[in-house]
Structure 1
């Protein structure tokens, strides 16, 4: 913020002054009276008044004084001649010319107080004008966001008022708007193009509160600058700009950049709020679609279409239980609920794109509900491909997370969302109760388990199971044995003692001893088909009830 030297010397108070050097486009931000020694009393872009006292008869001392003023960054130097200095020497004029400092000769009669008053009034007027302009630009940028306009309009306003090539990216460094900014520099910064981006401390742009937050990068001898867009201490994106040089940035340009940061932060907050509202609407819609048996009338289909869903397609439902492996020593940073769901959602959408299938996804705590388009009775192949793709990528992104899936049946027709969800939930529950390495359970493959679940609800059946296994359960608890597991393995190998012994890591005689104990405790013969069936059914129902009770 300041005024041009030329405008200063055109003030009436300088009418009798004589300019000894050419006119340079220097900016004046302050004016002061300084005599020798200069030391650190002169600051950058200052208009210096002096009588030359103590130097008038010593040309070398005068030259040292002028050098000190020039080295301090002054824009202009005016000597009052007639008492201590009668004429500014040519070597002093040449020195000022070399360093492009405006040198002025003042008659002794002109009072410094009059010059100070007029110049300070001019600087003050200019400061108020720039502040008013900055406020108008701030209001224009804020209104741009409030009126529903976007980042492209922000960059246009910014470019028009600052003249700086600018670009805006989100926090993933994806460019959202660009106005005359060098795209190849952006690609190098984002690692999408070969080249080295060296971060350095920017030179002084002057005095402005924004300066500590500016990051400077040098890329192939070109410079560009970056400001981080923050909202509630959360990184929202980046504002990139490219002045011709460090000295190019004025107070007004820096203030416009500061206001643009505020506008960008407001835009991203607004965008995030809209996005979160849309996500909540979609989540609520899909959860209601899954949980309640709703008629798919015109109103529901229209609402779905507004949210981007097409319900007039055949879907199957997948319900996944997200489990975090707490015992692992891996410390993947992105396993918070929000981050975890974000990655799962992203991979579900990518898998759907690869397979060219419509997909609808929502979350309910640790549960992910996915409706996938399936247009063939061989839907299990589609599901396996879909889940293979998701799990292959999630294994690398979320090493602490595993997902168990329940999958509904394919329906020969449409509009079975609630029924499909219920089937997938049952399949997930049954799969969760079973041991084994498989993390996928198809509803079609659960007929036996569903039969057992239905039987387990009958009081009479519960009594028979208790009578059959009571002594066996008490024996295992008292002796710390596992005769029930022994029977399961024995039955798994169709009563083959040798194979069951190898599986249990037992001697053959030890296994036979255990089997005799089972017969004695239950009163059933393992050689009788009916007794064997009763024991197997009782064990299955008991284990099903036990696992359900634990959960």
Structure 2
């Protein structure tokens, strides 16, 4: 960059005299040169080398002092006054004003033409600009190559700091420092004032209009947002001395650094999502008990840092109203799978936080609409541990998705090491029963109620499913076609101990209509309602079906033969 010392050392100005500001010659940079006469108004820019003859001051010291004050207040780098025609000697009042403020004033002999000074200064500025441009053009190529070479963000930020000769701090989307050597306490102290004092840098530069700048007594903090595909990914904070504002060259470097950081975050997000999908697929295979070899499980567990050698309790969650919230918040229609995908990255971080808070290991997977969690069981684990864990998750998720409702099913406590499939089936059964019998937004533990535990255990047994499919399927199919609700009719009949008159009154049916339905139940199922064994089998089948654990497809699959002629 060009400084005032570089200008006064030009051969053209060897006869000039430096009157004030010797101590700051190396600090005051020059970005432009101009000729200004009284009045100044708004015609002087910051870091401008100003030339004047004082013609508008009419040898009036007060007017000349006012002129010098206005040039100083405009942020000019220096003021060069040509003497010998309108001003013969720079007054002492002007010298005192400039000395008190370390403002540079240069006395020029009248013989030196302003046009020659402007030409020389512009030639120096153009040379510097060409060098800066050449150097600046090489920076994005270097940054892109670093990303292609797999360099991490710390290495990239170190290179940017070297080029800027300033410390920076790169923050992720949660505002956590991830790279850079700038003093974090100073950055955050100034950054927290953005809400109180934010100004837009006055420049036509396409990036600089996005830079937020705040100044305290010692530092300027330049703050830029990192975005990818319109999504906020993080921030870059550049810390500089209050007397060292960013020049055009540094603005270009920061622009390239911002773009490189956005590219790095994009690449990192893709890699993270790919690894998360692979880990998710592995855990789903373990949960579904796909006859995986021990060698395969050991290798994958090490790759994804999953400890499978601990006892876990399974928790299965279902976000009840996520699609409605997404449509409301983002004003767009998305299928539930995509909505869940958008929540996964937030959810996983919150799960990790919650697991650390309760001091338990945790494994996490998701499939379709379900969130599957395996929380470590320790000697100190209690029922409150799971509830505390879920409380933390729901409380923190509420900040991202206000109004989101979860239903939870919790597997049997202390199932044992490696019992992932068994624990998952019980947690999923508890979730289904809770949603069907208790309602949404609840938590149901598998081992809370003895009768439900018995029914849930039987419901997930394949042999039981095959036994109950015979009497259940014809009733389900008939109710779907005729809308007669024979299952509900049987529940009322059995609840009233076979009393037809009492059942008819309770169901608000004519006695003959009820008798017709009861005969239809017997003909469809092949069971007699007066035979205790048949009555027990039908009651048991309907109770298991009412848990909500068994789906229609499972009943059809387990049925010995299709039912015709309904």
> TM-score w.r.t. structure 1 length?
0.74
Q: Which residue is equivalent to 2:76?
A: 74
Q: Which residue is equivalent to 1:401?
A: 405
> In structure 2, how many angstroms separate the alpha carbons of the residues matched to 1:111 and 1:286?
81
Is 1:455 paired with 2:457? no
Cα deviation for residue 200 of structure 1 reads 0.9
| Greater alpha carbon shift after TM alignment, 174-183 vs 128-137 | 128-137
- Are the counterparts in 2 of residues 21 and 103 from structure 1 also a CA contact under 8 Å? yes
Q: Which residue is equivalent to 1:239?
A: 236
2:35 is aligned, of 17, 33, 36, to 33
Pairing 1:322-471 to 2, within 5 Å after superposition? 322-324=319-321, 336-342=339-345, 344-346=347-349, 348-349=351-352, 353=356, 358-371=361-374, 387-396=386-395, 397=397, 399-405=403-409, 407=411, 414=418, 423-424=425-426, 427=429, 431=433, 435-436=437-438, 439-441=444-446, 445-449=455-459, 450=461, 453-458=465-470, 461=471
Is 1:110 paired with 2:112? yes
Q: Which residue is equivalent to 2:223?
A: 226
Residues 440-481 of structure 1: CA deviation (Å, up to 9, x unaligned): 5578643554566313444xx579x66x998x999984xxxx
What RMSD, in angstroms, separates the aligned Cα atoms of the two structures?
A: 4.9
User: Structure 2 regions of 5+ residues with no counterpart?
Assistant: 448-452, 523-527, 555-566
Cα deviation for residue 70 of structure 1 reads 3.7
| Greater alpha carbon shift after TM alignment, 447-456 vs 257-266 | 447-456
Q: Which residue is equivalent to 2:557?
A: none
Cα deviation for residue 211 of structure 1 reads 3.4
- Are the counterparts in 2 of residues 215 and 225 from structure 1 also a CA contact under 8 Å? yes
Residues 347-400 of structure 1: CA deviation (Å, up to 9, x unaligned): 654565566655432222102344556699xxxx97966653454345544543
> In structure 2, how many angstroms separate the alpha carbons of the residues matched to 1:80 and 1:512?
109
Q: What secondary structure, in the 3-state scheme, does the structure 2 residue paired with 1:242 have?
A: strand
- Are the counterparts in 1 of residues 212 and 223 from structure 2 also a CA contact under 8 Å? yes
Residues 400-458 of structure 1: CA deviation (Å, up to 9, x unaligned): 333353848987774x656766x459836973795345745578643554566313444
- Are the counterparts in 1 of residues 83 and 110 from structure 2 also a CA contact under 8 Å? yes
> In structure 1, how many angstroms separate the alpha carbons of the residues matched to 2:237 and 2:321?
39
Question: Residues 107 and 550 from structure 1, CA distance in 2 versus in 1: closer, same or farther, beyond 3 angstroms?
Answer: same
Is 1:285 paired with 2:282? yes
Q: Which residue is equivalent to 2:518?
A: 522
> In structure 2, how many angstroms separate the alpha carbons of the residues matched to 1:546 and 1:185?
55
- Are the counterparts in 1 of residues 57 and 64 from structure 2 also a CA contact under 8 Å? yes
Question: Residues 12 and 345 from structure 1, CA distance in 2 versus in 1: closer, same or farther, beyond 3 angstroms?
Answer: closer
- Are the counterparts in 2 of residues 406 and 424 from structure 1 also a CA contact under 8 Å? yes
Q: Which residue is equivalent to 1:45?
A: 47
- Are the counterparts in 1 of residues 308 and 417 from structure 2 also a CA contact under 8 Å? no
Q: Which residue is equivalent to 1:295?
A: 292
- Are the counterparts in 2 of residues 50 and 80 from structure 1 also a CA contact under 8 Å? yes
Is 1:275 paired with 2:285? no
Cα deviation for residue 491 of structure 1 reads 3.7
| Greater alpha carbon shift after TM alignment, 262-271 vs 448-457 | 448-457
Question: Residues 201 and 534 from structure 1, CA distance in 2 versus in 1: closer, same or farther, beyond 3 angstroms?
Answer: closer
Question: Residues 515 and 395 from structure 1, CA distance in 2 versus in 1: closer, same or farther, beyond 3 angstroms?
Answer: farther
Cα deviation for residue 21 of structure 1 reads 3.0
Question: Residues 173 and 476 from structure 1, CA distance in 2 versus in 1: closer, same or farther, beyond 3 angstroms?
Answer: closer
Q: Count residues in correspondence.
A: 522
- Are the counterparts in 1 of residues 321 and 405 from structure 2 also a CA contact under 8 Å? yes
Q: Which residue is equivalent to 1:19?
A: 18
Q: What secondary structure, in the 3-state scheme, does the structure 1 residue paired with 2:320 have?
A: strand
Residues 160-217 of structure 1: CA deviation (Å, up to 9, x unaligned): 4444343222111112235241426627967xxxxx7753134868775443323345
Cα deviation for residue 337 of structure 1 reads 1.7
User: Structure 1 regions of 5+ residues with no counterpart?
Assistant: 191-195, 502-506
- Are the counterparts in 2 of residues 323 and 366 from structure 1 also a CA contact under 8 Å? no
Question: Residues 29 and 531 from structure 1, CA distance in 2 versus in 1: closer, same or farther, beyond 3 angstroms?
Answer: closer
Is 1:251 paired with 2:264? no
> In structure 1, how many angstroms separate the alpha carbons of the residues matched to 2:481 and 2:145?
77
- Are the counterparts in 2 of residues 362 and 368 from structure 1 also a CA contact under 8 Å? yes
| Greater alpha carbon shift after TM alignment, 53-62 vs 295-304 | 53-62
Q: Max radius of gyration: which structure?
A: 1
> In structure 2, how many angstroms separate the alpha carbons of the residues matched to 1:546 and 1:356?
32
Q: Which residue is equivalent to 2:131?
A: 129
Q: Which residue is equivalent to 1:5?
A: 4
> In structure 1, how many angstroms separate the alpha carbons of the residues matched to 2:505 and 2:43?
100
| Greater alpha carbon shift after TM alignment, 234-243 vs 178-187 | 178-187
| Greater alpha carbon shift after TM alignment, 99-108 vs 319-328 | 319-328
Cα deviation for residue 239 of structure 1 reads 1.9
Cα deviation for residue 282 of structure 1 reads 0.9
Cα deviation for residue 278 of structure 1 reads 0.7
- Are the counterparts in 2 of residues 352 and 386 from structure 1 also a CA contact under 8 Å? no
Question: Residues 293 and 38 from structure 1, CA distance in 2 versus in 1: closer, same or farther, beyond 3 angstroms?
Answer: closer
Question: Residues 88 and 338 from structure 1, CA distance in 2 versus in 1: closer, same or farther, beyond 3 angstroms?
Answer: same
> TM-score w.r.t. structure 2 length?
0.72
> In structure 2, how many angstroms separate the alpha carbons of the residues matched to 1:405 and 1:340?
20
Residues 40-87 of structure 1: CA deviation (Å, up to 9, x unaligned): 433332223334445565555544544444444333333444444444
- Are the counterparts in 2 of residues 206 and 251 from structure 1 also a CA contact under 8 Å? no
> In structure 2, how many angstroms separate the alpha carbons of the residues matched to 1:143 and 1:99?
47
Q: What secondary structure, in the 3-state scheme, does the structure 1 residue paired with 2:267 have?
A: helix
Q: What secondary structure, in the 3-state scheme, does the structure 2 residue paired with 1:243 have?
A: strand
> In structure 1, how many angstroms separate the alpha carbons of the residues matched to 2:357 and 2:74?
65
| Greater alpha carbon shift after TM alignment, 14-23 vs 117-126 | 14-23
Residues 129-170 of structure 1: CA deviation (Å, up to 9, x unaligned): 333444455555444444333333344334444443432221
